[in-house]
Structure 1
C-alpha cells in the first residue's frame, strides 16, 4: 500500500470525541442511545465513499457491503466487525486525544490532571512493556481524565480506512465483503440483536485485539452468576437475636474468597477466576453479581461449584436467611468453532505475514463479539487493532500499528480471493 494516504488516524481522532459509553444496568437496545451518534456518522461516511446499502437498524447495528470485484464466483463472503461502544469502567465523555509524535521512549505524562492541580496521570514504560516496541512511533493517548476509546474505535477506524482503500483501488481483487459495527460489546450484548441471515457472511474477523501482528483464536468461556440473598429484617432497636443483615452476609461471602488466587488480580495465562462486579441491597435483601471465567466449560463449572459452596458455608451462620444462585451463560471459547474451520485463521496469519510482520497466535483473557458470532454460525477470530491498556485512563495506540492493521484487513480480503 505504498503512497497511500491513510485515513484511519483522522477518523479515529474524530470518533473518540463522540461519547459512546454503554451501560450494563440498562435494559434498552442499545443500552445507551448515544452509541448511535457514532453509528450514524459511520453510515454517513460510508455513503460518502459510495457504499449505497450502508444502514443503521433500530438496535444500533450498522450493516454495509463492499461488492465483489473478482471474476471468481466461489469466493466466500468475509465480514469485518468492530464495536462502537466504550467501557462503562471509565468515562468516555469529553475525550481529548493527544498525539505524542516520534516518541522517545520515556514515560508519557498526561497533562490534564496536573493542570487541575491533581497528581499527574503517567503511562510508565515499566508498566506497559509493549511500549518498548514503539520508540520513534507516534503514540495517541487521552489527556488523563478519560479513557481514549481505542477499544474499539481503533478497529472501527481501521475497517473504515480499509474500506476506503478497497473502494479507491479496484485493482485489488476481493470477494463480497460485509461490514458490521455493533453496540454494547463492553456489556456482553454486542451480538444480541445481530441478524446473521441479513449479514450473510461465511467467515468473519473482529478487529479488536492488542499487540501488532497478533491474532487471537481462543477466548475465555464466560458465565455470569447472580446471588440474591434474603436476610431477616427487623427494627435495629429491637434486633438482638433476630436481625440477619443481608449486606453483612454478602460481605462475609466476599471476604471468604481467596486473597492470593482465583481473582483477576492474581491470575494469568490460562488461569480462570471468580470476580465480583456489583453489590447492591439493604439489610433485608442484597444482590451480588459475579463474572466467572475459564478457558474450559469444566473449569467454569468447577468455579461455580466453589462459589456455591462458599455461599452455603456462609449461610450456616445465618439460619433464618436464604439465597438464590443463578447462572447465566455469556459466551464460550471460540476455539471450539475455529478449529473446525482452519482456513479462517490461516488466511489471517498469511495476511499478517504479507504485511511484513511476525504473525503470532494468542489466547485472550477476555471475549469479543467474535466469541458469540462463532457460535452463531460465523467463525470469527480476532485481529489486532493496536489498542493497549483498555478500560483505563492510560489507554494508548500507535499511529503505525493502526496503519498496519489497515494493511492486514486489505490483505485478508486479497488472500481469500486468491485462495478461492
Structure 2
C-alpha cells in the first residue's frame, strides 16, 4: 500500500463523551519488541500472486506456527493456527464487564504476515542502528537510504532504526504490526491492572495480493471494531482508502505460421498493445496523479498472437468513478476490435474493495477513540488517506469498521525499507490506551 498525508485535520479532534481517564502506567519492553521484530522478518513470507493456494507461500504458515506457539507460551488459551494459516487468539477482559453482565466491546487487532512480491524477501538480513545520527544511511550491499529520497529520516535523529542490507525488503509491512500486537498481548497479560475489554488477535495471509480477508469468518472474530496495525510513521489514523476494482481485457485473434500469415493471421498481441496505447497517458494514470485523484493502471500484458490479455487496476476515492473508468475501458477495447478485423474483445470487471470512509461513518467511535487515546498520551493525531488499500478496507466493507494505525514503517515495498523501533513502542502504548477507552463503552 502507499499513503499520502493530505487529510490533516486543522480542527481540534472531537472529544469523546466520557470523563477524562487517568493514564495507565505501562512500560513497553523495547528489547523484547525489537527481538520479536528481528525474528519475524527473517522468515520469508513473500506473497505469490501466481499461486492459487491460500496462503500463497509456505513461509506464511511457518510464521503463523511461530506466532501461534508464542501466543500459547504467554498463556493465550485459545491460540490457534487454523487450516488457512490464519492465527487467532484472545486476551481476556480485565474490566469486570463480563461478570457484571454488561460486556464492553470486543476490539480486534489485525496485521498481515505476507510481504510484497514487488521486491525480494528471502534471506532478510536486518541491520540495527542505535541512536541514528542523521544523514544518509549506507547499506552493506553498497546501496544507500538517502535523506533526499526518505524525508522522514530528518524526524528520526536519535531513534533506533532497523534497515535491511540493501538486497531485500525488510518486511516491516507488516511484521512491524505483528510485533506490536504480540508485544501488546504479552504486556496486557503481564499487567492485569491495565484495564481493557476482550481483545481479539488476528494475523492474516496474502494481504499484499488482495486476498487478506478471503478466509476470515467475522462471526468467529466476533468484534465490534477492529484496527489494522499497518501504517507508516507515528501518530496516524488512516480513515480513507481508494475504492478499487480490477479489470481484464482479453483479445482473441487467430494464430497461424507467419510464413503463411498474409490475410490470415490476426495478431491479438498487437490489439493488446493498441489498447494500452489508446488509454489516457497525460491524465488518470499513476504517473500523473496524486492526493485524491484516481487512475486507470494497466500493469500486465500476457499472451501471444492467438490470445492476449491486459490486466488493469482502477482506483478512486469516489466509488462511482469506477463505473466511468470501466466504461472507458470497454469503449476503448471495442474500438480497438473494430479497427482490427477479426479481433474479439472481452472485458471483465471485478470488485476489490471500497473506500474505508464509507463504513467508518457507521461507527464514528472507531476514529474518535483512537484520536482520544493519542491526545491522552500527549500526542497530536493526524488523519490520513491511503492511495491504496488494507485488510481494513475489505473488513469495513463486510461490516466490521477497521481504521488503520501507524506501525513505524518507512519506504515500504523497497529494498531501502526501514522501521523505527521508537515509533513501534509508541504504537504499542497507543493501542493499550485505546483499549482502555474502549473498555468504558458498552457493546
Whether 2:96 is the aligned partner of 1:71: answer: yes
Q: Identify the match of residue 8 of structure 1 among 29, 33, 38.
A: 33
Shift of 1:2: 5.4
1:53-77 superposed Cα distances (whole Å, 9 cap, x missing partner):
1001011111100001112233100
The answer (yes or no) to whether the contact 1:9–1:402 under 8 Å persists in 2 is no
Counterpart residue number, 1:380: 402
The answer (yes or no) to whether the contact 2:28–2:429 under 8 Å persists in 1 is no
Whether 2:157 is the aligned partner of 1:100: answer: no
Q: Give distance in 1, aligned partners of 2:283 and 2:140.
A: 36
Whether 2:415 is the aligned partner of 1:393: answer: yes
Name the SS for the 1:265 alignment partner: coil
1:31-74 superposed Cα distances (whole Å, 9 cap, x missing partner):
12221110000001101111011001011111100001112233
The answer (yes or no) to whether the contact 2:374–2:430 under 8 Å persists in 1 is yes
Correspondence 1:327-338 to 2 at 5 A: 327-338=349-360
Name the SS for the 2:312 alignment partner: strand
Q: Give distance in 1, aligned partners of 2:64 and 2:156.
A: 31
Unaligned runs of 5+ in 2: 1-24
Q: Give distance in 1, aligned partners of 2:378 and 2:120.
A: 36
Q: Give distance in 2, aligned partners of 1:299 and 1:384.
A: 29
Shift of 1:356: 2.6
Q: CA, structure 1 residues 165+2, in 2 after alignment: closer, same or farther (shift >3 Å)?
A: closer
1:353-395 superposed Cα distances (whole Å, 9 cap, x missing partner):
2233210111111111111111222111101111122111111
Counterpart residue number, 1:176: 198
Q: Give distance in 1, aligned partners of 2:277 and 2:159.
A: 45
Q: Give distance in 2, aligned partners of 1:130 and 1:303.
A: 34
Q: Identify the match of residue 53 of structure 2 among 28, 47, 67.
A: 28
Whether 2:369 is the aligned partner of 1:347: answer: yes
Correspondence 1:9-408 to 2 at 5 A: 9-72=34-97, 73-112=102-141, 114=142, 121-408=143-430
Shift of 1:327: 0.5
Name the SS for the 1:264 alignment partner: coil
Q: Give distance in 2, aligned partners of 1:2 and 1:292.
A: 44
The answer (yes or no) to whether the contact 1:218–1:335 under 8 Å persists in 2 is yes
Shift of 1:196: 0.8
TM-score (normalizing by structure 2): 0.91
What is the aligned length? 413
1:56-115 superposed Cα distances (whole Å, 9 cap, x missing partner):
101111110000111223310000000000011111100001112222221112222x3x
Name the SS for the 1:329 alignment partner: strand
Counterpart residue number, 1:118: none
RMSD: 1.3
The answer (yes or no) to whether the contact 1:215–1:361 under 8 Å persists in 2 is yes
Unaligned runs of 5+ in 1: 115-120
Name the SS for the 1:418 alignment partner: coil
TM-score (normalizing by structure 1): 0.95
The answer (yes or no) to whether the contact 1:355–1:404 under 8 Å persists in 2 is no
